Every structure is written in C-alpha cells, then in structure tokens.
C-alpha cells in the first residue's frame, strides 16, 4: 500500500515516521507537509527536506528551553531526533559520509535533550562493555511502582540495520516504561553509533551481544529480577533475538517481530534471479579471485542501473563489514537457525502479518512457530486492521497492546511459578522441623 510516493521505499519510510506520532516522535501534519516537498525517488530531495524540518523543530526546542517551557522543549527535541534520523536514512551506505555523521550526532543530541526533560520516567545513557569496546544505549526506569523495587522485570530491545537506539523510544521503549517495566535499548554491532562511530560490524553470534547486555544489567542494578529478563527483537533484530535465545538461557520470555529462521534462504532467493554463469561462480567450491571478481563485477553493473539496488546492498554490506557483494552474500548464508532453533526454551511470541512485504518472512514465521519446542504464541496482524505490514508502522498502539499484553501474561506466569516454588520450599522446611 503506497502512501504519497510511488517509490515503495520512500512510502514505507514515511509510514514509519508517521507511526512515531503515537509516542510523540513525530507530528503528522508537519510530516505530510514535508513529504509534499520531496521529489519521488530522489535521495537528495528526501535528505534535504527532512533535514530542514529537523533543524526547524530543534530550534523550537532551543527557544522553548530559553523560555523555560520544558514540555514544549521535550516534544520538539523528540520530534527533531526522528527527523534527523529520517534525513540520514539514505546516507547509510557509506561510513565516510560526513553528512551522515553530522545528522547522527544531531539526532543523538536532540534525543538526549528530550530525555533530560522527560517526566514519569528516567532515560539514562549507558555504555555496555562488549569485547574491547562499548555499546551505546539507554536505560529506562519508570517512576511508578507497579512492581516491587527488588522484583522489576527488564525488557531488552534489539533492533535492525536501519534503526538506532534512540529510535527505539518510539518502537517499544516508551510502551515498556509506561507499563512499569525497566527497559534497555542499545546499538549493537552493525547498528547506529556502534557501527558509525565505533566500527563494530554485524555478527551472526548475537547471543554474545545479549549476554553482554544482561551481564551489564544484572551487575549495574540489583533491583532487576534475574528471572524476568525479556527480549524483544524488531526487524532484523527478530532474527538476532531468536539466535540469542538459542544459547542465552537467562532470557525468560522472547518476542520476535517478525519471526525469521534463515536469512541465507533470502539470499538464495536473490541469487536465483541472477544469470546462470554468475550463480555458478558464486556457488563454486573454488574461491578463485576470478570467480569472486565475476560476481562483484555483475553487481557493480547492477548498481550502475539502479541507485535503490546499490543502496540496498551497500548499506547492508557496510553493516556486515564487507565491501564485496560476493563476501556479503556468502556471510549471509551463515545466518540460519535450522539446526539450533530447538534450543530456544523460553515462552516465545512470534509476530506475523498477513501482508508482509517479503513473503519469505511470512513463511519463515510459520516455520519458526512449528520448529519451536517451547511454549509458543503467534500474534498475527492483518491488513483489515491497518497493521498488515512489516513491523506494523501505522498501527503502533495496536502492536504494543498485543505484544505487551502477551508479555504481561508471561511475566505473571513467572511470578506465579516463583510463588509456588517458594511456598513448596517453605512447606518442606515446616515438615522437616515438625
């Protein structure tokens, strides 16, 4: 379903920004007014229009601060952060792009200014030790006391290629903290500031990333209930979250939006559309330089005819740390859960939609649901309710209601089990003392 643009990518990105209005991360009128100034399929036009809007709204925030209007400043800075991110969306295929780094810095600064003015919760910047570097992120804590201070559940949100930790405020973090959860958002390898500022590339063993986040959380905050650590994965993060749960068993409940099991399968689907000689070179057991050059040369020609194809591949190649399409596609083949998915043991919710943009994703959600041996729930959204698209961009409130209602039930079950176990232990002790 295209909206305002014939270009499907422009249309989808506009919908994503519009959806953030539900959490204060956008204002629909100014977004639509901006979209009318953008030339369809023109990356530079898109970048310029969103930058102008972001700059204008950030200036409103600055003025509100000077005049001691903190609520207005909070609202303006939060929207400006979203618009700066929109402005650099099509710049993500080059790590040397100075404009990308400038917009990213402005996005982060506006978001942190907004969070310093937040009421009802705190959102504190954090640095998570990972290998020999640090992953940037945020720790949200609610002011309400729905849960006991020593019994607070933690939601960890892991996101996709194109997202940032700041953007996750509009895509789950605010929803979590409003419901009394603590929440951590972060940029992992291949994402946001971890990629652009710290040169950390995407990796298939995401369980090591989540392990680092959980280690940090359990050491830094004694109020976290270690039995109530939950993980939500969005977009590509849906795959990464599932991979993490195959080995990181401190995860008490898992949500994958959408469900994915095999990114290599998607890569194979792309390869089947290539000329036979290119396919043969790619799958040859002999990694001769000439064969790699043949594949890369073909893609170079493809990129010269389509800026969209070039951006699609190069932004992902960069996130994975490759400059060669041949190397990137070979690496993607290793992203599979076919032999390990049975190791996921926690209750799992698989989000699916009847009109996902990529049919492979939809079928993989079904594959994942049937492969899991743990308690599994499918949360299905439809086009009829305005939510049948990838990650429900125009139905964020409906999505968070269903996802967090399920999560609330999973957390309550954990609490009930703890209570029953404690009661059984107490009864055993009473019997022994009798």
pLDDT of residue 281: 87
335's CB contacts (< 8 A; 6+ apart) are: 204, 239, 243, 262, 263, 264
Quick one: pLDDT at residue 258? Answer: 93
Q: Is the pLDDT of residue 378 over 60?
A: yes
Question: Cα–Cα distances in Å, from 212 out to 107, 206, 230, 241?
Answer: 25, 10, 14, 14
pLDDT of amino acid 289: 85
pLDDT at 425: 59
| Burial class (CB within 10 angstroms; exposed 0-12, middle 13-18, buried 19+) of 31 | buried
Averaged pLDDT for residues 269-279 = 87
Quick one: pLDDT band at residue 428, thresholds 50, 70, 90? Answer: low
- Quickly state the pLDDT bin for 270 (edges 50, 70, 90): confident
The 3 state secondary structure assigned to the chain is CCCCCCCHHHHHHHHHHHHHHHHCCCCHHHHHHHHCCCCCCCHHHHHHHHHHHHHHHHHHHHHHHHCCCHHHHHHHHHHHHHHHHHHCHHHCCCCCCHHHHHHHHHHHHHHHHHHHCCCCEEEEEEEEEECCEEEEEEEEEECCCCCCCCCEEEEEEECCCCCCCCHHHHHCHHHHHHCCCEEEEECCCCCHHHHHCCCCCCCCCCHHHHHHHHHHHHHHCCCEEEEEEEEEEECHHHHHHHHHHHHCCCCCEEEEECCCCEHHHHHHHHHCCCCHHHHHHHHCCCCCHHHHHHHHHHHHHHHHHCHHHHHHHHHHHHHHCCCCHHHHHHHHCCCECCCCHHHCCCCEEEEEECCCCCHHHHHHHHHHHHHCCCCEEEEEECHHHCCCCCCCCCCHHHHHHHHHHHHHHHHHHHHHHHHHHHHHHHHHHHHHHC
CB 170 within 8 A of CB 25: yes
Rounded average pLDDT over 258-268 = 88
pLDDT of 300 above 70: yes
User: What is the value of pTM for the model shown?
Assistant: 0.94
Contacts of 278 (CB under 8 A, 6+ apart): 294, 295, 298
Q: What is the predicted pLDDT for the residue at 362?
A: 53
> What average pLDDT does the chain have?
92
The mean per-residue pLDDT over the stretch 71-78 comes to: 98
In the predicted model, is pLDDT for residue 148 greater than 80? Answer: no
Give tens-digit pLDDT for 380-411: 999 899 998 899 999 999 999 999 999 999 99
Report pLDDT for 237: 97
| pLDDT, tens only, 199-250 | 999 999 999 999 999 999 998 876 688 889 999 999 999 999 999 999 999 9
What the chain holds in terms of domains, given with CATH numbers, is: 1-119 (1.20.1440.110), 121-260+343-418 (3.40.50.1820), 265-332 (no CATH)
The pLDDT score that the predictor gives to residue 358 is 46
Banded pLDDT at 375 (limits 50, 70, 90): very high
The yes-or-no verdict on residue 356 having pLDDT over 60 is: no
* Mean pLDDT of all residues in 341-363: 78
Confidence at residue 360, expressed as pLDDT on a 0 to 100 scale? 45
pLDDT at 423: 60
């Amino acid at each position: 379903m295209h909206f305002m643009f014939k270009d499907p990518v422009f249309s989808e990105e506009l919908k994503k920004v519009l959806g953030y209005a539900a959490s204060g991360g956008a204002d629909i009128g100014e977004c639509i007014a901006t979209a009318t100034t953008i030339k369809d399929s023109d990356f530079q036009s898109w970048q310029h229009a969103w930058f102008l809007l972001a700059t204008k709204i950030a200036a409103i925030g600055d003025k509100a601060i000077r005049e001691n209007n903190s609520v207005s400043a909070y609202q303006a800075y939060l929207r400006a952060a979203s618009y700066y991110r929109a402005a650099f969306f099509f710049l993500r295929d080059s790590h040397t792009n100075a404009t990308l780094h400038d917009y990213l810095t402005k996005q982060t600064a506006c978001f942190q200014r907004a969070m310093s003015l937040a009421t009802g919760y705190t959102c504190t910047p954090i640095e998570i030790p990972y290998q020999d570097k640090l992953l940037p992120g945020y720790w949200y804590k609610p002011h309400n006391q729905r849960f006991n201070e020593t019994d607070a559940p933690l939601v960890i949100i892991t996101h996709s290629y194109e997202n940032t930790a700041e953007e996750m405020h509009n895509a789950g973090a605010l929803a979590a903290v409003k419901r009394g959860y603590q929440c951590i958002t972060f940029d992992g390898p291949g994402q946001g500031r971890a990629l652009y500022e710290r040169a950390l590339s995407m990796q298939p063993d995401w369980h090591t990333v989540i392990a680092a986040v959980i280690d940090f959380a359990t050491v830094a905050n004694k109020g976290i209930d270690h039995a109530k650590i939950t993980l939500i994965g969005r977009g590509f993060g849906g795959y990464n979250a599932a991979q993490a749960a195959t080995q990181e068993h401190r995860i008490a409940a898992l949500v994958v939006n959408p469900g994915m099991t095999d990114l290599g399968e998607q890569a194979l689907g792309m390869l089947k559309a290539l000329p036979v000689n290119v396919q043969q070179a790619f799958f040859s057991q002999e990694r001769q330089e000439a064969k790699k050059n043949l594949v890369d040369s073909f893609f170079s020609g493809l990129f010269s005819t389509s800026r969209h194809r070039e951006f699609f591949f190069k932004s992902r190649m960069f996130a994975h740390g490759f400059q060669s399409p041949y190397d990137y596609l070979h690496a993607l083949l290793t992203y599979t859960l076919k032999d390990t998915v049975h190791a996921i043991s926690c209750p799992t919710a698989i989000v699916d939609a009847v009109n996902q943009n990529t049919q492979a994703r939809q079928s993989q959600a079904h594959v994942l649901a049937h492969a899991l041996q743990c308690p599994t729930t499918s949360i299905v959204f439809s086009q009829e309710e305005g939510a049948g698209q990838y990650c429900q961009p125009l139905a964020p409130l409906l999505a968070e209601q269903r996802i967090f209602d399920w999560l609330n039930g999973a957390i309550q079950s954990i609490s009930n089990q703890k209570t029953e176990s404690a009661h059984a232990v107490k009864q055993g002790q009473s019997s022994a003392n009798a």
